[in-house]
A and B are shown apart, each in its own frame.
Chain A
Amino acid sequence: MTRSARPEPLRNEDAALLTGRALFVDDVHLDGMLHAAFLRSEHAHALLRNVDASAARRHPGVAAVYTAADLGEYWRPGPLLVPPPPIPGLVFNARTQPPLARDRVRHVGEPIAMVVASSRYVAEDALSEITVDYEPLDAVVDLEAALQPRAPLVHPDLGSNVAARAAQAKGDWAAARARADLLIARRFTYDRGIAGAIENRGIVARWDARARELTVWDTTQAPIPIRNGLARMLGLLESEVRVIAPFVGGGFGPKIMMFYPEEVLIPWAAMRLNRPLKWIEDRQENFYATTQERGQIHDAELAVGRDGKILGVHDVFLHDAGAYDPYGLTIPINSQCTLLGPYDVPNYASEFTAVFTNKPIVTPVRGAGRQHGVFVMERLLDFAARELGLDPVEIRRRNYLPPDAFPHDHKILFQDSAPLVYDSGDYLPALEAAVQAIGYADFRAEQGRHRAEGRCVGIGVVSYIEGTGIGPYEGARVTVEPSGRVRLATGVGTQGQGHYTTFAQIVADVLGIPVNQVHVITGDTREFHWGTGTFASRGAVVAGSACHAAAVAVRAKALEVAARELNVTPQELEMSDGAVRVIGQPNRSIAIGELAQRANPLRGAVRPGTEPGLEATAYFGPDRGSTANGVHAVIVEVDPETADVRLRKYVVVHDSGRVINATIVAGQVQGGVAHGIGNAFYEQLAWDQNGQLLNASFMDYLLPTALDVPDVEMLHRETPSPLNPLGVKGVGEAGAIPTGAVFAQAVEDALADYGVEIREIPLSPGRLFELMREGKRAGAHTLEAARR
């Protein structure tokens, strides 16, 4: 795949962001605007006997207070966003979140009442005047305890805490197990963290009764579905609702969730009160009211031959769904599918149970369940390698799918209900490149010397795949303005991924114009109202392909008009430097702005079968997602006194198909790795047995800082996807996916003398210290037993 050698363009969006001009939701100021604050449950699980808001209603400055009882017909649980795939034998119990709790609260922070007042300060004053009569109940916190016969029930009508159960299999696991030379069976756990966008969520709504237009500014990753859903809920035409996702300060998954209670209530109350209304989540609310991810427990078994070849994998896991499951089974199915990794796994049996708990709702966070699958598989391979006396790198080499195995059908279903088929890939060279770049052989040669000096240094190398760029579709409209500037409108909003630049590049390439001449409009339903949103690493793949298709259609129109004007055939024309030119006669040209004008005359009819102007709208819907892959390698050093871990070198070899903008791709990977490092060693939500969150602030919940994240060395490989015209695959989540697995392998290697086996993420210095102590103790016992 060739790429033009010109330098990467600077991002089109940066000037506004750097000077403080960029509009974020909390920057919206409207005349007469009121402010909302929410009363949230103090208990993880309780019956609501009574909510008395009368004093709050009398509080000076309060315009309204709403409880569930005040919502009348408008009170209804939110929609099920992603219906589960048609897996035979599937059990799925949909229980979605209500806008305000009515008779039971199911997690700390669940909204009970909304106060609308002249300022946020006054609204919060009035919250303290609402009296709630709770009857506290035992909370469901632990996943296994949740499934015990006498466990308290999150949704009593279900009779158990089972949210879902699904099994997928291929081949014959039992037979594979029976003929295995070695079986590795272990339990693995992964725990919850927050997404941690620095901008919290927020919504501003304004109802213009005369124009009959509801305008909603929302920090959402999915403005179009929000518009459509609001129109339905509020009884408006879709054209009467305009949703704007302006600049959004980081998404990472939870901002694709819909409908949050606040998204249901703020527009409704703005209409009722006929006043603009704003709600901005504060950081503490974010720890309870924004969705989270990653609690799973896996009991997994790997069957291998003496040569290290995988014969089969068996995995049974529990998935923490939280109090409601509006996002269906996307996460556990991602875990189930991603476990297979880049490997040839002939026999696979996987079964999961999603469990309701009295904790905040779980929906995808960067990686969306893929981490767990990668962690389980990579750890199983590490343990098998150790038992077989193989190098961890070598066992991977022996199990990759070969380059001629594509398309590779795994014969199970992916989260988008399509079969899990890898479109393309070339795995072994990525591994060899990573091994080379990290200096694997040299490190191994010197490791003994370091150990002798008492230094605990270790190395890790793991592989992963990522299903990206799923459907259903996105669209784009390209319009050439008479000025020669080009407008590009698309539905997928940006949360920092660089859409204003990447999409502009795609269009600029096709039309032969400078990137900064393409003005991108995204995330405003008035400008474009077909599409779904920014998730599943799909922006560049799906929306990018739609931008390309629209640009190609505009190019054809431009060539046709120019051919007529210049008396040549379209085949004799090319587009460059903002003009259509006769090939070989660069002076015979017309600027595209001029062409746009000629294609839209004030007098003279549009010819039959043609359209005015230079404009086209196009859509792209892939049959299925494209599969990116990569290898992470790291060298770590553990301080044996403090169990602190320093990352000495971090290498990523990444293949996301054809790269449109290498700088942006590298930025996504570096940021993903930082997120992964947080997940691996710093970030863990700590709950007590009552479902109370013990670390709901940035002082207690640690996001990695500049002192914790190394400069990642990156190598990009480009194996094009055959599923879209650009050959691209997604990249947004990749960096965060294998980080826990590679961290565990390297730390374990560094602590080989301590007999530590790492089967859990996140770790922390404290937890690692415990593991070192336990390992030493177990090692001492073994030694003693051997002596006896």
Chain B
Amino acid sequence: MSDGVPVTLTVNGVEVRRAVEPRVLLSDFLRHDLELTGTHVGCEHGVCGACTVLLDGQAVRSCLMFAVQADGHEILTVEGLTSDTNSGELHPLQRAFREAHALQCGFCTPGFLMTLIPFLAEHREADDRAIREAISGNLCRCTGYANIVRAVRIALQDGTRRAGGVRQ
């Protein structure tokens, strides 16, 4: 359409060079230009958290950023959690979600996962209150959150076991 601004960013470890209209949201850029549709859009005003991705390791809402603001940065989306999404291999956090039945429709799930990746990196242990606070910026209408909290507990134990050198 109109002239794009050239951007260069790294998405899931791959360098991407595109020309993008300045007004295009990062969420739309990821979903519709790069066809990384695992990042979902639920409100487009920064409340529901479904569109959460990592920007240089920090959880951000991709609906509150323009794609051009990601120029020069590193983005990780849910597709980047496993090396090959078709292999059936799951990240430990994804495995914990499955084990705890922490998803129903699954629409909000990628946002929860991406919110929790930095949380788990920063916390070897956390009580339920801390877990609930960590996910309180993500809305889920299906699960009532209890099993998501349980999944985080499993992931924390898992991480602790691994850190202690215990093989799974």
Chain B residues with Cβ below 8 Å from A561 are: none
- Of A317-325, A473-481, A696-704, the stretch lying at the interface with chain B is A696-704
Q: How far is the CB of A249 from chain B (nearest CB, A)?
A: 3
Q: Is B157 an interface residue (CB 8 A)?
A: no
B85 A250 Cβ-Cβ under 8 A: no
Given contacts A29-B35, A119-B1, A498-B104, contact A249 B147 (CB under 8 A): no
Cβ-closest chain A residue relative to B88: A15
Task: Write out the residue numbers on chain B whose beta carbons fall within 8 Å of the beta carbon of A518.
Answer: none
Cα(A498)–Cα(B81), bound, Å: 24
- Interface status of A406 (Cβ within 8 A of chain B): no
How many angstroms between the C-alpha atoms of A709 and B143 in the bound complex?
A: 10
Contact with B along A16-28 (1 / 0, CB 8 A): 0111111110110
A707:B136 contact, CB within 8 angstroms: yes
Q: In this assembly, does B146 line the interface, its C-beta being within 8 Å of a C-beta of chain A? A: yes
Q: Is A674 touching B97 in the complex (CB atoms < 8 A)?
A: no
B16 contacts the other chain (CB 8 A): no
Which of B3-11, B41-49, B118-126 contacts the other chain?
B41-49
B26 at the interface (CB under 8 A from A): no
Number of interface residues of A (CB under 8 A): 62
Taking CB atoms, residues of chain B closer than 8 Å to A14 are 97-98, 103, 106
A250 and B144 alpha carbons, distance in the complex (Å): 13
Is A18 within 8 A of B98, CB to CB? yes
CB contacts under 8 Å to B, within A42-83, are 61
Interface residues of B in 48-87 (CB under 8 A from A): 48, 50, 77-79, 81-82, 85-86
Complex contact B143–A26 (CB within 8 A): no
Is there contact, CB below 8 Å, between B32 and A674?
no
Indicate if A200 sits at the interface (CB-CB under 8 A): yes
Known: A19-B38, A20-B36. A707 touches B144 (CB 8 A): no
Q: Which residues of A are found within 8 Å of B40, using beta-carbon distances?
A: 24, 26, 198-199, 249
| Residue among B36, B47, B133 with the highest chain A CB neighbour number at 10 A | B47
Contact with B along A662-692 (1 / 0, CB 8 A): 0110111011111100000000000000000
Which residues of B have CB within 8 Å of A627? none
Residues on A with C-beta less than 8 A from B137 are 705
**Residue in B32, B103, B105 whose beta carbon sits within 8 Å of that of A495 in the complex:** B105
Q: How far is the CA of A711 from the CA of B150 in the complex (A)?
A: 10
* A247 at the B interface (CB under 8 A): yes
A250 to B40, alpha carbons, bound, how many Å? 13
Sampled A-B contacts (11; CB under 8 Å): A13-B106, A15-B90, A15-B98, A19-B79, A29-B32, A121-B1, A197-B105, A198-B48, A283-B42, A667-B143, A707-B136
Q: A20-B79, A247-B105, A496-B107 are in contact. List 14 more A-B contacts (CB 8 A).
A: A11-B101, A18-B94, A19-B79, A19-B82, A20-B37, A21-B85, A29-B37, A121-B1, A199-B107, A496-B105, A670-B146, A671-B142, A697-B43, A697-B45
Q: Which residues of B contact A (CB under 8 A)?
A: 1, 21, 23-24, 31-32, 35-45, 47-48, 50, 77-79, 81-82, 85-86, 88, 90, 94, 97-99, 101, 103-110, 113, 131-133, 135-149
